[in-house]
Every structure is written in structure tokens, then in C-alpha cells.
Amino acid sequence: MQSFNGIQAIFFDLDGTLTDPKEGITGCIQHALRHMGEPVPTKDELTWCIGPPLSDNFSELVSPQRAAEGVALYRQRFSSVGLFENRVYSGIPDVLAGLAEKYSLYVASSKPLVFVDQILQHFELDGYFQRTFGSGLDGSLQDKSELLRYALKETGLSGSSATMVGDRRHDAVGAKNNGMGFVGALYGYGNEEEFQSVGYDRWVDAPSGLLQLF
């Protein structure tokens, strides 16, 4: 079992970890598919799309050749409506306030940075974080391993001095590839098997569990 001794910083995923974006993300995917003339699954059928890079989702939903078209249509709605169809998980502000007394806190999301910052400001969570990291609108840094590598370099942290908190397998893979600790957020959209498959064995059922764990 991994130890958190010597940890200086905690990196948080956004979607499924700090906020529940189901309504906005699934609604915008439906919007894109509808305009592309493709079958439109229900919102519950699209929850698997929460977390992975958007281009990966559309590659699977339609085809790699039409993924860019899907992303563009998605952002058409997301940039003005979808990003605020979101809610902060219960207890997150108190958890962040408590952890910020002991650790440097950062956000690392494969969502475009411009949207990450807007969402954090809208829900008044931005003040807890020293810096936020996200992808570019061109798709750069949407891979969580690359994003965390960049974030560690920018902050001057080593992987062994930082832990990632996220709700999906790609968060765990990103942490593993950078020598970081990892805690799974089971209240999000992942499950224990996703984390165990990468070699991690710590998770919490509710945000409050993070205060007990750290």
C-alpha cells in the first residue's frame, strides 16, 4: 500500500472529482451527435464519456475521421451553456480548505484550460488552488500522462512528492507514468477495478474521506 509520507502537493482531476458534470457533458455530446445525423444515446448511456479526452470519445461514438467535427459541435454548446450545467460535489469546499492548510493544491484536467478556469471561478473553487493545468483547444496535453509530466515540470515537483486524486483509469495511469501516488474518487464515474488494474489500492467513497486519508 502506498504511503503519503513526504507528500507536498495534491493534484485534482475536475470532472467526476471536484464537480459532477454529467448534465453538461452528456447534453453537449447529444447536441453534437444530433447535428451530425448520428444516433443519440440517452444521457445515462453516455456517462462513460465523462473523464476521457473528448476526441477519444467522438472517435468511438462516430469515427476517428469525424471526431474533430464532433468536438467542434460539442464546444459550440459547451462554451456558453454546458460548462455551467454542473454541480460541486457535497463537501468539496471544506475538503479543499482543510487540505490547503497542509499541501499545495493543483488541478490537472484533460478539459481545455480555458473551461477549467471558468468552471472553478464560477463555483468559487479557484482560490484553493495554486495553479490549474488543462489541455489546449488544439488537443495538446489532453493525455493525462503528458499533462501531469508538464505540470510537475512547471511546479518543480517530483512525482514522489505529489499525489493525484481522480475518478477514472486514465487519471491513475497518468499518476503511475509519472511516479505519483493516486487516490480514486469512487463518488465519481470510475470503480475500484479501474484503479486496481493500474496497481493502486486507495480510494474514497465521499470527498470527506480525503481529509481522513491525508
Annotated catalytic sites, by residue?
13
Integer Cα distance of 12 and 67 in angstroms: 27
Which uninterrupted H or E stretch holds 166?
strand 162-166
Alpha helices (H) along the chain: 22-35, 54-61, 67-78, 92-100, 113-122, 144-155, 169-177, 192-196, 208-213
Cα distance between residue 194 and residue 92, in whole Å: 23
19-20 vs 87-88, strand pairing mode? antiparallel
Q: How far apart are alpha carbons 21 and 85 in whole angstroms? A: 7
How big is the chain by its Cα radius of gyration, in Å? 16
C-alpha distances in angstroms, 131 versus 12, 151, 214?
11, 9, 20
